Amino acid sequence: MTEKILLHINGQDVPSSDGAVFSVKNPATGEEPYAVSHATPDDVDAAIQSGQRAFEDGRWRDVPARERARVLNRAAALLTERIDELARLETVQIGRTLREMRAQLRRLPEWLEYFGAVAQTAEDTGPNFGAEHLNVVRRVPIGVIGLITPWNHPLLITMKKLSAALAAGNSVVIKPSELGPVVPVLLAKLLEEAGVPAGVVNVIPGLGRTTGKALSEHPGLAKLDFTGGTETGRVIAANAGHSLIPVTAELGGKAPVLVFEDVDINRAAAGALFAAFIATGQTCVQGARILVDRRIYGDFVEALTKRVSALRLGDPLDLQTQMGPMVSEAQREKTADAVNRARAQGATVLSGGRAPEGQQYERGWFYEPTLVADVGPLQDLWYEEVFGPVTLVVPFDNEADAIQQANDSPFGLAASVWTQEIGRAIRVSKALQCGIVWINDHHRIDPASPWGGFKDSGLGSENGLDAYNACTKKQSLIINTSDSHFDWFASVEDLRYS
């Protein structure tokens, strides 16, 4: 049975103004469980106006920070109660395993709690302004923030952006990915149930080239917060730039995993496996280039190949499954094309490299976890973001070579360094040109810890105090404390101020 999902504007579930819908497919079965209203440019405008009205009449902006935090904590509690239900919905929409979605969603209440705490503890500052004035610098909310999100972590990415925006007192208009729009609509209703006033959170599902474009071009936004591909990011930032709307952008990556010769090989292979194949490899920080000291290369590749070929691919709702399907047919084709091109350019496929055979895989967009060797900077696979279950493994000769190879990328989102030698771990991390470096770990995230990319991987960052501050602007109050009479134009003979 197909369930209808409507737009959520001004606290109401409404169909799109032209009645158009699009379907969301279950990537594991090809079924179409949801028919989702497709927001038109008029709907985008209505959502922004709803957010503006809510902002201007102060129904959320003027709620004291302590009370806003209480509401966000109530939302965190409601979310905690509904995690299993929402995790299942995420799996049906995007095909990630239920085991992964449960683990991810269990963390999400922390974002509401963290940013609620930040709002409560945020303090005005008082710069030195000389003897006769007092300067108070306030941080004030900015208005309606547009959130354009991808499909690979539909709720996590929405939650990161939304928690900071709401804690600071803003309204939001969310344009979720067309591949994962269902849970963000439910989230808006959950927030209202917790006490966020109607009109503050608006959700307008739709395609990127229509709905997303209309949102990114709308002059009524105070800020646009985007996560998605680098090329989409360039288009969106240019659109917003025409109206001088600031943009935060979390974009693509091709994260290196640097494995030094002193590691425990099995532990490092388990880490590389986790880095590369969680979410069927569809994460921005996927360990997509595994660089290994030549002295242990053979043993490491043997251990990793064994682990890759043993991954259990299958029904993502089955808790025994370790890797689900890819999100869409297009994404699978893109992956197969990247692997086939790599083969044609001289790469060796050590494991996977094809769609699996068998009845259980026939209706879904499955692709085997794939490990590729003999890839270098002359091949496309070295630079391009595949966004699928494909990683490459190459040797390095020494520390300098490892750093050079790791930095040889247009992207600069994340990296991981695997070694027991503390000095080397820190030395190498400092030399890496990327926003996040894990040492002996990968994928870890916390609401308090900045998340953002260097180079073509982004602008600004999510999480932490900077993300909260980016949802505010400074207002400087300059107060005259002197009791002397000041009259600049009283007399031209009085030259005290010349």
Q: Are 34 and 3 in contact (CB under 8 A)?
A: yes
Nearest one of 301, 309, 320 to 277, comparing CA atoms: 309
Our finding on whether 150 is near ligand NAD (CB under 6 A) is yes
Our finding on whether 335 is near ligand NAD (CB under 6 A) is no
Least distance (Å) between residue 148 CB and ligand NAD: 5
Our finding on whether 250 is near ligand NAD (CB under 6 A) is yes
Residue 454 pairs with which residues in a beta bridge? Answer: 412
Which one, 178 or 315, has the nearer CB to ligand NAD? 178
Which one, 245 or 269, has the nearer CB to ligand NAD? 245
Our finding on whether 184 is near ligand NAD (CB under 6 A) is no
**What is the rounded distance in angstroms from the CA atom of residue 75 to the CA atom of residue 77?**
5
φ, ψ of residue 417 in degrees (nearest 5): -120, 125
Our finding on whether 152 is near ligand NAD (CB under 6 A) is yes
φ, ψ of residue 65 in degrees (nearest 5): -55, -35
- Single residue of 208, 287, 353, 369 touching ligand NAD by CB under 6 A: 208
- Single residue of 43, 90, 100, 178 touching ligand NAD by CB under 6 A: 178
- Single residue of 158, 171, 216, 416 touching ligand NAD by CB under 6 A: 216
**What is the rounded distance in angstroms from the CA atom of residue 295 to the CA atom of residue 290?**
15
- Single residue of 387, 396, 418, 468 touching ligand NAD by CB under 6 A: 387
Our finding on whether 388 is near ligand NAD (CB under 6 A) is no
Least distance (Å) between residue 7 CB and ligand NAD: 15
- Single residue of 95, 253, 369, 412 touching ligand NAD by CB under 6 A: 253
Our finding on whether 256 is near ligand NAD (CB under 6 A) is no
Our finding on whether 251 is near ligand NAD (CB under 6 A) is yes
Size of site (CB under 6 A) for ligand NAD: 31
Catalytic residue among 284, 368, 385, 434: 284
Our finding on whether 149 is near ligand NAD (CB under 6 A) is yes
Least distance (Å) between residue 166 CB and ligand NAD: 19
**What is the rounded distance in angstroms from the CA atom of residue 102 to the CA atom of residue 110?**
14
Which one, 91 or 149, has the nearer CB to ligand NAD? 149
Among positions 478-497, residues that touch ligand NAD (CB under 6 A) are none
Our finding on whether 38 is near ligand NAD (CB under 6 A) is no
φ, ψ of residue 413 in degrees (nearest 5): -85, -60
Our finding on whether 36 is near ligand NAD (CB under 6 A) is no
Candidates 37-45, 46-54, 194-202, 212-220: pick the segment binding ligand NAD (CB under 6 A). 212-220
Which one, 43 or 315, has the nearer CB to ligand NAD? 43
Our finding on whether 435 is near ligand NAD (CB under 6 A) is no
**What is the rounded distance in angstroms from the CA atom of residue 217 to the CA atom of residue 314?**
41
Nearest one of 388, 416, 174 to 284, comparing CA atoms: 388
- Single residue of 235, 265, 270, 431 touching ligand NAD by CB under 6 A: 235
Candidates 32-40, 147-155, 287-295, 424-432: pick the segment binding ligand NAD (CB under 6 A). 147-155
Residue 316: other Cβ atoms inside 10 A:
29
471 is catalytic: no
Least distance (Å) between residue 395 CB and ligand NAD: 26
- Single residue of 55, 60, 115, 151 touching ligand NAD by CB under 6 A: 151
250 is catalytic: yes
- Single residue of 38, 68, 213, 442 touching ligand NAD by CB under 6 A: 213
Least distance (Å) between residue 156 CB and ligand NAD: 9
Which one, 129 or 454, has the nearer CB to ligand NAD? 454
Our finding on whether 284 is near ligand NAD (CB under 6 A) is yes
Structure tokens at 264: 């425990």
Which one, 257 or 402, has the nearer CB to ligand NAD? 257
Candidates 81-89, 229-237, 352-360, 477-485: pick the segment binding ligand NAD (CB under 6 A). 229-237
Candidates 54-62, 98-106, 250-258, 487-495: pick the segment binding ligand NAD (CB under 6 A). 250-258
Least distance (Å) between residue 20 CB and ligand NAD: 15
**What is the rounded distance in angstroms from the CA atom of residue 339 to the CA atom of residue 370?**
9
Catalytic residues: 250, 284
Residues that bind ligand NAD (CB under 6 A): 148-152, 157, 175, 177-178, 207-209, 212-213, 216, 227-229, 232, 235-236, 250-253, 284, 385, 387, 413, 453, 458
